[in-house]
Structure 1
Amino acid sequence: MGDFMGAVTGYPTAIYTVLLGVVVIYWVLAVVGMVDFESSGIDVDLQTHADGDTSDMGQIASYVVAFGLNGVPFSVAVSLLVLVAWTLSCLGGEWLLPLVPTMVLKLVAGTVLLVASAAIAIPVTAVAIRPLKGLFVSHTAVSNAALVGQVCRVVTGTVNEKDGRAEVARRGASLNIRVWAPTPNSLKRGSHALILEYDEVAARYLIAAHEDIV
């Protein structure tokens, strides 16, 4: 136990111990609801950075993607990175550094261990977060205007100026929307129609018969 505590509090692991303490405090605050870990991330959309943005945030985002640490909240990636680096440094400080004979060489070896722990922690963390990426997939909601121009299928017996419902095929569950059309029309249950426009006031879509769709 003495060797372990000496490694945890000694150079270079003490640096990672402090960082690990910060991570622990952060997650305690996240558990009690004082911080939102999912919103404490870095947007790693490189489209803006490819256009010549050389800001610090852009550089960090580029490194995150290059090292394979994207796909999860930035706080999760950093927490795992610190934990892995701390573990490697602690093991090295407990098993390897005692074999170094002099204090000067211990400082040199400690510095090498500090850098090596961080370097090895990056690919290890990248592998560790791969199973977690599916838990943090962002789904972008479909806007009302995005449906204009698409084909829908009428699910009510008739469609007139007051009533009507239709379904729009999407990946996963279909969207059931309110529709209307001027009468007379040939729209009936099962008919395919084209969405022409969206009425924001009435929150419904204007549709027209699309007889050529099978």
Structure 2
Amino acid sequence: MGVFLGAAFGFPTVLFTPMLFVVLGYWIFVIVGAADTELLDSVDSNGDAVGLSAFLSRAGLGRVPVTVALTLLICVAWFASMMGSILTTLVDTTSTPLLYALGAVVLVIALVVAWAVTSGVVMGFQRFLPARGGDSKHELVGRTCVIRIGEAREDFGQAEITTAGGASISIPVRTISGEVLSSGSTALIFDHSPDDDVFLVTAFDAALDPGQS
């Protein structure tokens, strides 16, 4: 136990340990419906990835939400760093410069392994992932979606919609004028807010569907 704690809170694993706790807390919030899986995703008015989304896309990790990519990167980096740190304890030395040098080597290896594993996982599951951007933001306006993960309100909401290719994707939604839509209800997407990158929805009345006879 002492070796485990020493490695977890020693250099370089200590750089990833706090991140691991943040990741754990974030996914707990996602499960209870208090956070959005696309919280860190960002696009410009043309639907092109910007900021962190663009960086991860250029690194070959753009086919999944930013939060998913970061979760994989942090978890794998932490694990690889832990294993490397434990192995360095086998080196019989008390030289502080040497120990920090070994830690730096472990850090570089952990980052490389994290990128390689995460990239491999994303590439391996590409066939099961919807093509992000296959349906532009504006093309989704006018379509219906199903509210998921609690209620959709002015400050929070998550919905599921089926793309033109038949894949189900999750999108962030918001209501206006204090409207609250319960989980499982069908909503109509009537606009897209590029500033917040969310879709504005309202209750859908099937009787108003032009496709109904």
Instruction: Give yes or no for TM over 0.5.
Output: yes
Structure having the higher helix fraction is 1
Alignment deviations for residues 167-211 of structure 1 (CA, whole Å, 9 cap, x no partner): xxx977xxxxxxxxxxxxxxxxxxxxxxxxxxxxx987xxxxxxx
Contact 1:73–1:136 at 8 Å: present in 2 too?
no
Matching residue of 1:198: none
Matching residue of 1:210: none
CA RMSD of aligned residues (A): 3.3
Normalised by the length of structure 1, the TM-score is: 0.56
Matching of residue 95 in structure 1 with residue 87 in structure 2: yes
Alignment deviations for residues 46-105 of structure 1 (CA, whole Å, 9 cap, x no partner): 9868xxxxxxx44x4443122211111000000000001001100000012441621221
Larger radius of gyration: 1
Contact 2:40–2:53 at 8 Å: present in 1 too?
no
Normalised by the length of structure 2, the TM-score is: 0.56
Matching of residue 73 in structure 1 with residue 68 in structure 2: no
Q: Which moved more, 1:89-98 or 1:72-81?
A: 89-98
Contact 2:61–2:119 at 8 Å: present in 1 too?
yes
Relative to structure 1, the CA distance from residue 5 to residue 75 in structure 2 (aligned partners, 3 Å threshold; closer, same or farther) is same
Shift of 1:28: 0.7
Contact 1:42–1:73 at 8 Å: present in 2 too?
no
Matching residue of 1:10: 10
Matching of residue 108 in structure 1 with residue 108 in structure 2: no
Shift of 1:131: 3.9
Contact 1:67–1:123 at 8 Å: present in 2 too?
no
Distance in structure 2 (CA, Å) of the matches to 1:6 and 1:34: 34
The code of the aligned residue for 1:12 comes to P
The code of the aligned residue for 2:102 comes to A
Relative to structure 1, the CA distance from residue 46 to residue 94 in structure 2 (aligned partners, 3 Å threshold; closer, same or farther) is farther
Distance in structure 1 (CA, Å) of the matches to 2:56 and 2:46: 11
Distance in structure 2 (CA, Å) of the matches to 1:171 and 1:64: 24
Distance in structure 1 (CA, Å) of the matches to 2:35 and 2:140: 28
Distance in structure 2 (CA, Å) of the matches to 1:126 and 1:44: 24
Shift of 1:18: 0.8
In structure 2, runs of 5+ residues without a counterpart are 143-163, 167-207
In structure 1, runs of 5+ residues without a counterpart are 50-56, 145-169, 173-201, 205-214
Structure 2 residue matching 1:79: 3-state secondary structure? helix
Relative to structure 1, the CA distance from residue 136 to residue 3 in structure 2 (aligned partners, 3 Å threshold; closer, same or farther) is farther
Distance in structure 2 (CA, Å) of the matches to 1:142 and 1:82: 33
Shift of 1:137: 3.9
Contact 1:4–1:94 at 8 Å: present in 2 too?
yes
Contact 1:42–1:74 at 8 Å: present in 2 too?
no
Contact 2:37–2:67 at 8 Å: present in 1 too?
yes
